[in-house]
Structure 1
Amino acid sequence: MITPQTIEQIKNRLDIIDVVGEFVKLKKRGSNYLGNCPFHNEKTPSFTVSPAKELYKCFGCGKSGNTITFVMEHEKLTYVEALRWLAARYNIEIEETQVSEAQKLQFAVADSLYVINSFASKFFDEQLFNTEDGQAIAMSYLKERGFREEIIKKFQIGYNPQSRDTLAKALIANQFNKELLPKTGLVTVRNETELVDNYRGRIIFPIHGNTGKIIGFGARVIGKAEKAPKYINTPENDIYVKSKILYGSYFARVAIDKADECLLVEGYTDVVSLHQAGIENVVASGGTSLTIDQLRLVKKYTNNLTIIYDGDSAGVKAALRGLDMALEEGLNVKLVLIPDNEDPDSYVNKVGASGFKDFIATNKKDFILFQLEVMLKEVGTDVNKKSDLVNQIADTISKINKVEDFTKQQDYIKQCSAILKIDEGGLTTLVNKYKRDKVAKEEKKQQLSSFDDINAQLVEQPEDVLNDNSALLNVDEKHERNVLRILLEYGLNAFDENQRVADYVFKEMEGFHFDNPQLEIMLEMYRLQYRDGLEPSTKTFLYSEDETIRNLTIAITIFPYELNAGWDNLIDGKKITGQDNSHQDVIMSLNYYKLRKIKKMFDQNQYDMEHADIDGQMQLIKIHKHLKDMEQQITRQLGTVILR
């Protein structure tokens, strides 16, 4: 684990304009910066970055956060991965909390494998671009396949020469650990001590992890494979686990997010060809059955998965594998089969980018219905086989188990029962049976688990209860947010000679409370931190571990508009912008909040008087007078008359 001290050091070094500006073209607009949102397509900029508050918000799609969450969202990284990314950017040495010797060794091995892979990738690149064999053999083959140099460089495609140990000698010459080298799959041990290259005479496709580091390689023969396998892949090791990887996901993550669709193909060259054609929301499974980890990787970016495979029988069977897991993960799965014995690589080169996109758009087939269609052909008129098919389809439909997908499940039952020519009610009953069986199985599994494991399964992530569309907020919540805003922005400023703004706010707030429980929690958090001398600020809450608190902080403190400096020129003798109005802002914000509360107290008191006895009414009349005095005192400060 990264130490709190390191995390704090990273936070203190962050420059949100520097980080966001690497991915978004920003223009200064007043005290903020504006640009086109990287999370959705827009022509009119609505993505606002505040360097003072260290936050961003898109007023188009609603995405918001701080520097760390921006890196997490844009680069699709975990919190720890984002911290490491930022630490590397600012040359901050990461300190880890105390770990076991075994863990230290594991981390050291992983770091070494990354370094070796990085060196090897540069070596392969050098061999491809700067050697005679690389140009004559490998580059000519790649260009014959239609790959241009810019796409080759983007994916860092390289070449391992045919000679026995060119790479092995280079690795040894650079003093890499000989014991670790075979673990990378780059070299093989012969005669107990001799190291020889494992990918001789092959095109090399580096495989990138979520952070862009090279975690492994795929090595393809040049031309047709006869005796040797077409591809050799890195063996699984500390950093490369095949079941958790989709080739090209690092390059496709932003495009998938924007398109809200992931295209899944089989091979490396399919991915590279489609990227070259401008179709970038594509990844490859490597021709193996989809795993749950790969499906969850897709789900990080989108719920829509379109599988594009060859139209032969092997391609169909490959496509159908993993369907049930995809449905359980809540993915909307479509299937496209490429015609005429083509694959995505050859087909996009044949019909062009626009033709390929049109073909995909018009030939998507629903996965469940396609599976039913394929299986019906195999069943024919065999009654027993049809019975098995009905059970299999019911089992598949039962995997659609999320509450929000209930309507989708009912639609499948209706369509499948019509195709199978069976009773809809009967299929519904069968689907429900499979669902009950699954629940019973899960319950039994949980009973065998430890108490801690059960608790871990039952923990729910806090929901984002924030609705930061201010037009939908009620008046009370707007005033409550405004009180929090002045605390976050001015709380540590001096209010007068004797007290800070926070002291004044808490004194004026005595006897009042927020109706919104989340805002009340934030207010209490500020109060406790302030009382303990921690000097809370916008930044404190912006980097809270609680996502709801972070989102509320952004919604409270950033706005889509600000005063234009041109007002100072239009109104002679008045400095409108850049003026410190914090003192007046605090007083007015608190007074309007209290007036709103007093109005509600009036209404409640009036209702109570109408339903009270004589003694009760006398007491309530006193309360009415006290509230009236409070109201008049506030309105005199504001210079406002309240009409009823």
Structure 2
Amino acid sequence: MISQQTIQQILARIDIVEIVGNFVKLKKRGANYLGLCPFHNEKSPSFTVTPSKEIYKCFGCGASGNAIKFLMEHEKYSYVEALRWLAQRYDVTVEETEVSAEVKQQQQLADSLYIINNFAREYFSNTLFNTEEGQNVGLSYFEERGFTQETIRKFQLGYSLNAWDAFTKAALAKGYNLEYLQKTGLVTIRNEQPGDNYRGRVVFPIHNQSGKVLGFGARILVKNDRAPKYVNSPENEIYVKNRVLYGTYFARHAIDKLNECLLVEGYTDVISLHQAGIENVVASSGTSLTQHQLRLIKKYTNNLTILFDGDNAGVKAALRGLDMAIEEGLNVKLVLIPDKEDPDSYVQKIGAEAFRQFIADNKQDFILFKLQISMQDAGNDTTKKSQLVNEIAETIAKIDKTEDFTRQQDYIRQCSQVLKIDEQGLINLVNKFIREKLQKKEQQFSRDQEKNAPSQDDDLSPEAIAAMEAMENGGGVSDNFFNPDERQERELVKILLRFGDKPFSEEDQNTVADYIFRLPYDFESLADNEIVKRILREYKQMYDEDNLPDKKWFLYHSDHDVTAMVVQIMEDKEAELSPKWKEEFEIDTVYGDNAYLKDTISTTNYLMLRKIRKMIIENQQELEKSTDFEAQINCMKMHKHLKQLENELTNGLGTVIFR
């Protein structure tokens, strides 16, 4: 896991304007920066970055957070991936703690493979544009496919010379390890001689979500019955084919904005659609979809539309595999491209707008399409029809999320009508498959418990895992953060974070934090909100240790609830604490950076008054219930004392006495 020292170095260097500015065009407006929100479509900018608070806020869609949250939301990074991105950005050396020598060796190997792949990408691109063979063969091929130079450069396409070892010699001359070159698949050994694996082919780099090159696909340009049409990188420490979708790096923002992912089969399908302006598209590279790939799609959207070639003989086989998509909670639609066409040829034939309209008009529901195709195949065969009923029931049973109950019932109704079977009978069959699935999960859980199977995140601290899970799942704080009764509690946190180290008095060295924590009240106990209590407790502990924390400590806290709370507090507009303040307590409220002393007194007074008023009510209730004369006298004395304290606080007296 990343050491705390490294994390602190990263946090100390974060500039939220610089980070967000990498992805959003920002214009300075006063003390803030304004731009078009990257999380929803808008024509007028409502996305604001506030450097003094180190937060962003969109007043259109409500998106908000700190620099790390922005990277996680915009780039779909995990918490750790965002930290690593920032470390690379700010040239911070990442120190790992509790990492075995074996793990460290694997990390170093992965870094080496990335470096080699990046060199190869640049080499093949240079060969394509700056050599005679590259221009005459490779560039001509791409141009014949209708690709512009802008598109070619965007996808970083390249060409490998039709020579035995041109690339190999260049790589070895740069000092790259021959064993690692073989691992990447760029170099092969034949007759004990290293040579180029992609010679005479155009090259398609395959990127991960952050734009690093994981591997390559290389297409032959001359007909050769002895050679495969495509040669792909072998799986290694950084490239695992069933976890990758081609084009994700270029499509991720469009998928997120349009809330739909189009899935095609090949590299050129993706490139052609992107060039036509249809950018929410990725490719499975001719393989059946895997659970990892489906989860990758789900990071961006729940809506998956698969574009099949009309003459694709493997449609039925693919449909069987799509049950996994239903199980992952994806809404799956299918579109059949007309015969003898594929997405690449069809979009170039009819144009982008007509292609978009074709998709919109021809989307078919996956389950109903599967039912239709299977019924055609079953015909009047009773055995096949019986098998079909079981298959459809099993598919519907995979829709098991509570929020999809209505959708599941609708499928049961429609399918029973098409199949001409009793609806209750289909319901019973679906429930049977649901029970079987639950039993399998319970059995698997029991086996895992017995084996004490380690988690995939065992190399992370519990705090990091909690933060990652909460932030990746869009977790946040509860609605009670907006409870007006808790505004004063949040205001106290804001004062400590923004002004805790500021001088409270010109006459001595006391700070705002000194004033707050030396008052004869425990503000943690006065607070109702549990997250506020946690922040005040941790702040007080660090204060007692003479280690006054700044706002970054809490803004980038490992506890996501704390982070979310602080973001909300920091983005909160300076406003009156409560509409009833003036009316009930006759205390004027003045807010802003230049009025933090009045803010501090007003806020602490309010919290103490709130506590005293609760005590007055409780004392009155005790007086009413009491039948003992001495106890009644004590209650009346207590009432007088509490009312005196109330009057002093209301009049602003006794609030600057240090004890």
TM-score, normalization by structure 1? 0.90
- Shift of residue 163, structure 1, vs aligned partner: 2.1
When structure 1 is superposed on structure 2, of 616-625 and 520-529 the one drifting more is 616-625
Sort the Cα spacing of 1:603 and 1:44 in 2 relative to 1 into closer, same or farther, 3 A.
Answer: farther
How many Å separate the matches in 2 of 1:159 and 1:275?
A: 21
Which residue identity does 1:75 align to in structure 2?
E
When structure 1 is superposed on structure 2, of 202-211 and 491-500 the one drifting more is 491-500
Contact 1:446/1:454, CA 8 A, preserved across alignment: no
Sort the Cα spacing of 1:618 and 1:353 in 2 relative to 1 into closer, same or farther, 3 A.
Answer: farther
Counterpart in 2 of 1:311?
310
Contact 1:217/1:233, CA 8 A, preserved across alignment: yes
How many Å separate the matches in 2 of 1:63 and 1:225?
A: 54
When structure 1 is superposed on structure 2, of 357-366 and 101-110 the one drifting more is 101-110
* 2:634 counterpart of 1:635: no
How many Å separate the matches in 2 of 1:611 and 1:84?
A: 63
Which residue identity does 1:389 align to in structure 2?
L
How many Å separate the matches in 1 of 2:628 and 2:221?
A: 100
- Shift of residue 228, structure 1, vs aligned partner: 2.7
How many Å separate the matches in 2 of 1:602 and 1:415?
A: 64
Cα deviations by residue, 1:65-123 (Å, 9 ceiling, x for unpaired): 22222222222222232222222222223333354333333223222211221111111
* 2:349 counterpart of 1:340: no
Sort the Cα spacing of 1:386 and 1:51 in 2 relative to 1 into closer, same or farther, 3 A.
Answer: same
Q: Which runs of 5+ in 1 are unaligned?
A: 563-575, 639-644
Q: Say which of 541, 544, 549 aligns to 2:557.
A: 544
How many Å separate the matches in 1 of 2:207 and 2:456?
A: 31
Contact 1:306/1:334, CA 8 A, preserved across alignment: yes
Matches within 5 A, 1:462-611: 464-467=475-478, 473-496=482-505, 497=508, 499-508=510-519, 509-510=521-522, 513-559=526-572, 580-603=594-617
Q: Which runs of 5+ in 2 are unaligned?
A: 458-464, 576-589, 654-659
Matches within 5 A, 1:63-74: 63-74=63-74
How many Å separate the matches in 1 of 2:39 and 2:573?
A: 17
Percent identity of paired positions between Structure 1 and Structure 2: 56
Contact 1:287/1:318, CA 8 A, preserved across alignment: no
Counterpart in 1 of 2:10?
10
* 2:210 counterpart of 1:211: yes
Cα deviations by residue, 1:176-230 (Å, 9 ceiling, x for unpaired): 21222221111211112x0122112211000011221111000112266654322
Counterpart in 2 of 1:83?
83
Counterpart in 1 of 2:657?
none
Which residue identity does 2:606 align to in structure 1?
Y
- Shift of residue 634, structure 1, vs aligned partner: 2.2
- Shift of residue 313, structure 1, vs aligned partner: 4.1
How many Å separate the matches in 1 of 2:283 and 2:237?
A: 22
TM-score, normalization by structure 2? 0.88
How many Å separate the matches in 2 of 1:554 and 1:451?
A: 42
Sort the Cα spacing of 1:627 and 1:28 in 2 relative to 1 into closer, same or farther, 3 A.
Answer: farther
Counterpart in 2 of 1:272?
271
How many Å separate the matches in 1 of 2:488 and 2:357?
A: 52
How many Å separate the matches in 2 of 1:87 and 1:327?
A: 38
Counterpart in 1 of 2:101?
101
Sort the Cα spacing of 1:302 and 1:608 in 2 relative to 1 into closer, same or farther, 3 A.
Answer: farther
Counterpart in 1 of 2:39?
39
Sort the Cα spacing of 1:314 and 1:138 in 2 relative to 1 into closer, same or farther, 3 A.
Answer: same
Matches within 5 A, 1:140-289: 140-192=140-192, 194-222=193-221, 226-289=225-288
**RMSD of aligned Cα (Å):** 2.7
Contact 2:574/2:591, CA 8 A, preserved across alignment: no
How many Å separate the matches in 1 of 2:289 and 2:408?
A: 22
Counterpart in 2 of 1:356?
355
Contact 1:156/1:205, CA 8 A, preserved across alignment: yes
Q: Secondary structure at the match of 2:399?
A: coil
* 2:112 counterpart of 1:112: yes
- Shift of residue 372, structure 1, vs aligned partner: 0.8
Matches within 5 A, 1:379-418: 379-418=378-417
How many Å separate the matches in 1 of 2:456 and 2:22?
A: 39
How many Å separate the matches in 1 of 2:434 and 2:593?
A: 64
- Shift of residue 342, structure 1, vs aligned partner: 1.0
- Shift of residue 235, structure 1, vs aligned partner: 0.6
Cα deviations by residue, 1:482-538 (Å, 9 ceiling, x for unpaired): 122112211222223263222322344437522222222222222222222321222
How many Å separate the matches in 2 of 1:453 and 1:32?
A: 51
When structure 1 is superposed on structure 2, of 101-110 and 351-360 the one drifting more is 101-110
Which residue identity does 1:629 align to in structure 2?
Q
Sort the Cα spacing of 1:611 and 1:475 in 2 relative to 1 into closer, same or farther, 3 A.
Answer: farther
Aligned length: 624
Which residue identity does 1:44 align to in structure 2?
S
Cα deviations by residue, 1:117-154 (Å, 9 ceiling, x for unpaired): 11111111111111112111121121111100001001
- Shift of residue 609, structure 1, vs aligned partner: 5.3
Sort the Cα spacing of 1:586 and 1:142 in 2 relative to 1 into closer, same or farther, 3 A.
Answer: same
Counterpart in 2 of 1:570?
none
- Shift of residue 8, structure 1, vs aligned partner: 1.6
How many Å separate the matches in 1 of 2:569 and 2:294?
A: 36
How many Å separate the matches in 1 of 2:222 and 2:592?
A: 68
How many Å separate the matches in 2 of 1:48 and 1:326?
A: 37
How many Å separate the matches in 2 of 1:61 and 1:345?
A: 35
How many Å separate the matches in 2 of 1:171 and 1:137?
A: 23
Which residue identity does 1:47 align to in structure 2?
F
